Amino acid sequence: MALRIATLLFALHCLLPTSCAAYRCKRVSGALVQIDVSVGQVFGVNKHDCIFTRYGSSWTQLPGKLKHVTVGPAGVWGANRANHIFKLVGANWVNVPGLLKQIDAGGDQFVAGANHGDAIFCLPKKNTVGYSKRNSALNWRNIPGRLKYYSCGPYSCWGVNSNDYIFVRKGVSSFNCEGEGTWQGVPGRLSMIEVGSDGSVYGVNSVGDVYRRDSTSTCKPEGTGWTRIPLYSRQVKHVSYDLGHLWLILKNDAIYDCAEH
């Protein structure tokens, strides 16, 4: 069934009532290929690399072009088609030395991401919060391994590799963005993954199914299992979660805001 342009409400019911909440979803105007939500803010980019942020019930376009944008405790960051990195300082995008194809600002005031060769990097708090100009000193830290997508939260970072295998890195902090120990493999396959501002973990697999990781916590960052969230459409390609709202981008670039109830 084709999605109607008019607002469509539907419920997402958990397979296990104790694992996650139900959601009521509504179609949001516009079209995006990627979205990121954190600290009460919403940012996204469309297929033309135009950048948008949401104020109330409408989108405001920002200057510049990015293929990937992220918002979090470290501020608003992004990467363009040439993999150049930028931070939003005031109303201007300031170039940050380095190259990343995907970047995430959801950690505890640090940023992390993957480059064109799937190498993984992070930038600690001392380099992120105060960064404002090209000649600011930086200390990008290379994390062993290869991932195509990497996302961080308050106490753990999660990623997926080119084969959609899932990994978690524990013990991350604003001063130790590399984390502690080694990668822990997590059962399942996902094509992208996002960690929410509260440490919750959501992901999408190759056929467009959405999953939430159960029972993640500071004591057990890896959680206990995956719960699939049944949707009206199994055509999701990107998710992001913040403050009780699960945002979905479908394969046709349609946007949905799903609120817990």
Residue 218: which CATH number? Answer: 2.130.10.30
Is the model's pLDDT at 135 over the cut of 90? no
Q: How many domains does the chain have?
A: 1
Neighbours of 38 (CB within 10 A): 25
Percent of the chain with pLDDT over 90: 80
Q: What is the model's pLDDT at position 162?
A: 98
Give every CB contact of residue 43 below 8 A, 6+ residues apart in sequence.
35, 36, 37, 51, 52, 53, 54, 69, 70, 71, 76
Q: Tell me, yes or no, whether 201 lies in a domain.
A: yes
Percent of the chain with pLDDT over 70: 90
CA distances for 119 relative to 124, 150, 167, 210, angstroms: 17, 10, 14, 26
Q: What is the model's pLDDT at position 130?
A: 82
Residue (of 16, 13, 23, 11) closest to 224 by Cα position: 16
Q: What is the model's pLDDT at position 137?
A: 67
Is the model's pLDDT at 203 over the cut of 60? yes
Residue 9 pLDDT grade (very low, low, confident, very high; cuts 50, 70, 90): very low
Q: Tell me, yes or no, whether 78 lies in a domain.
A: yes
Cα 48 to Cα 55: distance, rounded to the nearest angstrom: 21
Is the model's pLDDT at 136 over the cut of 70? no
Residue 16 pLDDT grade (very low, low, confident, very high; cuts 50, 70, 90): very low
Q: What is the model's pLDDT at position 20?
A: 45
CA 251 remoteness from chain centre: 17
Q: Tell me, yes or no, whether 108 lies in a domain.
A: yes
pTM: 0.89
CB of 256 within 8 A of CB of 28? yes
Residue (of 224, 244, 247) closest to 236 by Cα position: 247
Identity of the amino acid at 204:
V
Residue 222 pLDDT grade (very low, low, confident, very high; cuts 50, 70, 90): very high
Q: Tell me, yes or no, whether 242 lies in a domain.
A: yes
Is the model's pLDDT at 121 over the cut of 60? yes
**In a 3-state reduction of DSSP, which class is residue 128?**
helix
Q: Tell me, yes or no, whether 14 lies in a domain.
A: no
CB of 73 within 8 A of CB of 111? no
What's the rounded mean pLDDT across residues 109-134? 92
Domain carrying residue 86: 19-260
Q: Tell me, yes or no, whether 4 lies in a domain.
A: no
**In a 3-state reduction of DSSP, which class is residue 125?**
helix
Which token pair is 129? 């919060």
Q: What is the model's pLDDT at position 129?
A: 86
What's the rounded mean pLDDT across residues 74-79? 97
CB of 75 within 8 A of CB of 105? yes
Cα 26 to Cα 33: distance, rounded to the nearest angstrom: 17
CB of 48 within 8 A of CB of 14? no
Taking only Cα atoms into account, the Rg of the chain, rounded to an integer number of angstroms, comes to 17
CA 43 remoteness from chain centre: 11
Identity of the amino acid at 213:
R
Which token pair is 182? 């080694």
**In a 3-state reduction of DSSP, which class is residue 24?**
strand
Q: Tell me, yes or no, whether 13 lies in a domain.
A: no
Is the model's pLDDT at 255 over the cut of 90? yes
Identity of the amino acid at 1:
M
Is the model's pLDDT at 49 over the cut of 50? yes
Q: Tell me, yes or no, whether 5 lies in a domain.
A: no
Is the model's pLDDT at 10 over the cut of 60? no
What's the rounded mean pLDDT across residues 179-188? 94
Residue-averaged pLDDT of the chain: 90
The terminus-to-terminus CA distance of the chain in angstroms comes to 26
